[in-house]
Amino acid sequence: MRDVVIIGAGPAGLSAAIACRESDLDVLVIDEFPKPGGRLLGQLHQEPSGEWWNGIEETKALLAKAEKLNTTIQCEVSCHHLEKIEGGYIVHTNHGLFETKNVLLATGAAETAAPIPGWTLPGVMSIGAAQVMTNVHRVRVGNKGIIVGVNVLSAAIARELQLAGVGLHSMALPVSNPVTKNHAHPGKVMEGLVRIAHLAPSAFLRFGSKFAKAAWVRDLAVKFYPKGGVKMWGMPIHIRKAIVQINGTEKVESVTMCDLTPEGEVIPGTEKKIEVDFVCIAGGLYPLTELAAVIGCPFQYVEELGGHVPIHNEQMETPLEGLYVAGNITGIESAKVARAQGKLAGYSIAKQNENIQQAMQEVKAIREAATIQFHPEIEAGRQKVERAFHEYVVP
């Protein structure tokens, strides 16, 4: 029986494995992808300081540490079930069963679909798929495309596509429907847009980031939002325009764009066709929690963290003995936060009490210094989960 099986070889899983191996625990890391690194492999962006965050180089650094400690990492291994046994767990995979005293779930996040008429055509993909194809597999997704959905994720990946030489016409909102409602409302989108304004050389957005905390200022900004959009890295970002249809017979040929009122309603007669050969849909991220559900871990829905998350405490422990979580399964944040959480989880598994407090402070410091946040009020969301943990463990 192993000391710990870590499911997920992204920044959280690899960091946790390193911390566990430093205490000489018997560790197995598994991941369904052909190589370790997780979402890190597709990340490449410039931070406000001017420094570049290169996910491939960050992965290499983590792997070098893990390999130096003789960490066992197995890729192309899919886990489909967890079973509780006396003194531990059985991890069910396509490569057989693994018995372990502890399990760390570092499964990350998945993308939310945003359905639009025509979205099943070849050439339509999620924004995350475009990132992986471009930065990991070095496959050009198309010559000229448009991004549907304006949020932190789409803005970051749009820049990565530009750096790879992929042409982008613009970013616009999806047409409003029951699924896309919040992503299609200009006012709600503006709230998120001002949180990434410091990343772009736009006076309009910089103004918004400083003053648009007040609702009346946001409403004013939406009302007078330029018809031509606000340019970020030379690409127009529209929050008063929406994509109502993706057109084509055998593949994407164009999209139909229309103007919106400040409330997000389509203005009849403003439809316009734009020729593109690919479309990226950005519906946001949610924690990938199926394995936690399978084993019976209790959950709480926390909007600030991106959806349902396993209940856990500050040490990354769940109410189930021997089950730990780290990374985006606990809430949608940056790879830097996930890496710090993994380190903390590793110390918790190894019972390295002298390092746990320092690691907890490191997670908080990295969170506070984050360049961008996927959701507002992250700290409030974390506190909700921690309160739920203590109420569950000590009624």
pLDDT tens-digit map of 25-64 = 999 999 999 999 988 887 876 666 667 778 888 999 999 9
Instruction: Scan for tokens 């830097």, then name that residue.
Output: 336
Picking from 211, 246, 281, the residue at the C-terminal end of a domain is 281
If asked whether residues 259 and 122 sit together in one domain, one would say: yes
140 and 158 assigned to the same domain: yes
Q: Are 197 and 246 contained in the same domain?
A: yes
Instruction: Please check whether residues 128 and 84 belong to one and the same domain.
Output: no
Residues 13 and 152 in one domain: no
Domain boundary, last residue among 253, 281, 309: 281
Tell me how many domains the chain contains: 2
How much is the pLDDT for 227? 81
Q: Which residues pair with 99 in a beta bridge?
A: 90
The verdict on 267 and 172 lying in the same domain is yes
Measured CA to CA, the distance from residue 88 to residue 235 in angstroms comes to: 52
- To the nearest 10°, the Cα dihedral for 53, 57, 61, 64? 170
Q: Are residues 140 and 124 in the same domain?
A: yes
- My answer on whether 26 and 82 are in the same domain is yes
Last residue of a domain, one of 251, 281, 311: 281
154, 271: one domain:
yes
- In this predicted structure, what is the pLDDT of residue 394? 65
Q: Is the same domain home to 363 and 346?
A: yes
Kindly report the CATH number assigned to the domain that includes residue 57.
Answer: 3.50.50.60
pLDDT tens per residue across span 78-118:
999 999 999 999 999 999 999 999 999 999 999 887 889 99
Domain that holds residue 319: 2-110+285-393
Does residue 54 sit in the same domain as residue 33? Answer: yes
Check whether residue 163 and residue 100 sit in a common domain: no
- From residue 9, how far is each of 132, 290, 345 by CA, in Å? 16, 17, 14
**pTM for the full predicted model:** 0.87
* pLDDT tens per residue, range 253-310: 999 999 999 888 999 999 999 999 999 999 888 999 999 999 999 999 998 898 999 9
